[in-house]
Amino acid sequence: MSRKTRKRPTRKRSFLLFELLLSMTLLLLCLFPLVKTHVGIAREELKQIQALQHEQEARAVFCTLKTKLHEHAFSWEQLMQGVHTDLYTVKKLEQSTKHTSESGMILGVTLHLGKDTFERTVYVEKALDHTR
């Protein structure tokens, strides 16, 4: 047998650390834009969900306030001076003189929920006293 026909044993070459780091870097550079977009979308959706939850809480507090106004939980004098609680502040914006000198008023309600502030207006008429 001649030397040409002999098969040389093939030597397996291991990966160099540099090659491995280079391939990982290229992989991360390709995946980063794909992941960044989805992370940004998830953050924006979370902000929108929190804004909707705060709006829902504001509506619930406003409904309880309207219920209290309907049940006459506050006197007319209290409403004239303004009502302040932990969640909301009620103050008189304008007075109406439809039938009598003090028949109704427009109230400004400011709801404080965390760092968000919601403002609403409500019209309240003075209840007639039928006990006389």
The counts of H helices and E strands in the chain are 2, 4
Distance between CA atoms of 95 and 76, rounded to whole angstroms?
12
pLDDT of residue 1: 52
In a domain, 98, yes or no: yes
Q: In what order do the strands lie in the sheet with 88-96?
A: 83-84, 88-96, 104-113, 116-125
Question: What would the mean pLDDT of 7-26 be, rounded to a whole number?
Answer: 82
In a domain, 130, yes or no: no
Instruction: Residue 129: name the closest of 100, 106, 98 by CA.
Output: 100
Predicted confidence (pLDDT) per residue in 34-80, tens digit: 889 999 999 999 999 999 999 999 999 999 999 998 888 888 888 88
Query: Pairing relation of β-strands 104-113 and 88-96?
Result: antiparallel
Answer yes or no: is pLDDT of 132 > 50: no
Question: What would the mean pLDDT of 104-127 be, rounded to a whole number?
Answer: 86
In a domain, 74, yes or no: yes
Instruction: Residue 127: name the closest of 74, 90, 87 by CA.
Output: 74
Distance between CA atoms of 54 and 98, rounded to whole angstroms?
36
Average pLDDT, the chain: 83
In a domain, 86, yes or no: yes
In a domain, 32, yes or no: yes
Q: How many domains does the chain have?
A: 1
In a domain, 3, yes or no: no
Q: Cα separations (Å) of 42 from 29, 36, 53?
A: 21, 10, 16
Domain span at residue 119 reads 17-125
